[in-house]
Amino acid sequence: MENGSLDGFLFGDKMAIDWCKMHEIAVGTAKGIAYMHEECEQRIVHYDIKPGNILLDRNLCPKVADFGLAKLHNRESSRILMTGFRGTPWYAAPEMWKPYPVTYKCDVYSFGMLMFEIVGRRRNHDPNLSESTQWLPRWTWDMLQNGELLAMVTLCGVPESEREKALRMLKVALLCIQYKPEARPAMNTVVKMLEGDMEIPTPEYPLDPAKPSQSSENGSELDSESSSSRTVYSEGLYSKPEKQTVENEIELATR
């Protein structure tokens, strides 16, 4: 793959890719995951969709790569029993941290997180930014609720001719990261919505509705933990009992 991985273009020092091509990369990646989920003889669940695992050929066509964590899955069975954590912190679905069976919808969640980064041209979490914009999924939800999503894509540097595609991508991303797996669309539906062939339903609140973020008087979240672990679970992604598992996995991933 002559152009390496997508993360080099999003976060590294490689040349910038024009926005129209970025949209094509998002759609092409969605089609690749849809093929694994729906068209293979056995469903392939990747478990680690992220920019580093999206490779680009000489024409910047995306290829889903690195199947070291993938599993084959019979279509007759809707859930997979996990043995140990799989995936990468910040991209892995909430259910991946739990000792329960999971579905192929964990890939849908990770793809949604990838789309936020494509639109924002930055990592999903940046502690150097203002509190309201640090966590891209939360910022997107807040801007959507305030009717300011167009202003957000403008701030992200999306050219005017491509802003409709960017709005579509952010709305689909919010659908993909719904807390409950059954609320996330299938990847073939994601493709249709990204290409404009299907109307995008209004996203619901994507994080855990039982654990909405709380604010103190000065606007900061009520939590005494470190900023990294606070972002992971106080945003509603994970519950308090999962805190130690989350922190352990982040520590291992960042060594």
Expressed as residue numbers, the domain containing 133 is 7-212
Residue 240: inside a domain: no
Into how many domains does the chain fold? Answer: 1
Among candidate residues 175, 186, 180, the one with its CA nearest the CA of residue 141: 175
Catalytic, out of 7, 48, 126, 197: 48
Residue 223: inside a domain: no
Tell me how many degrees the CA angle 195-4-36 measures, rounded to the nearest 5.
45
Tens of pLDDT along 193-226?
Answer: 999 999 999 999 998 766 644 333 333 332 333 3
In the prediction, which pLDDT does 223 show?
Answer: 32
**pTM of structure:** 0.80
- Look up 48 and say whether it is catalytic: yes
Residue 254: inside a domain: no
CATH number at residue 183: 1.10.510.10
Tens of pLDDT along 166-194?
Answer: 999 999 999 999 999 999 999 999 999 99
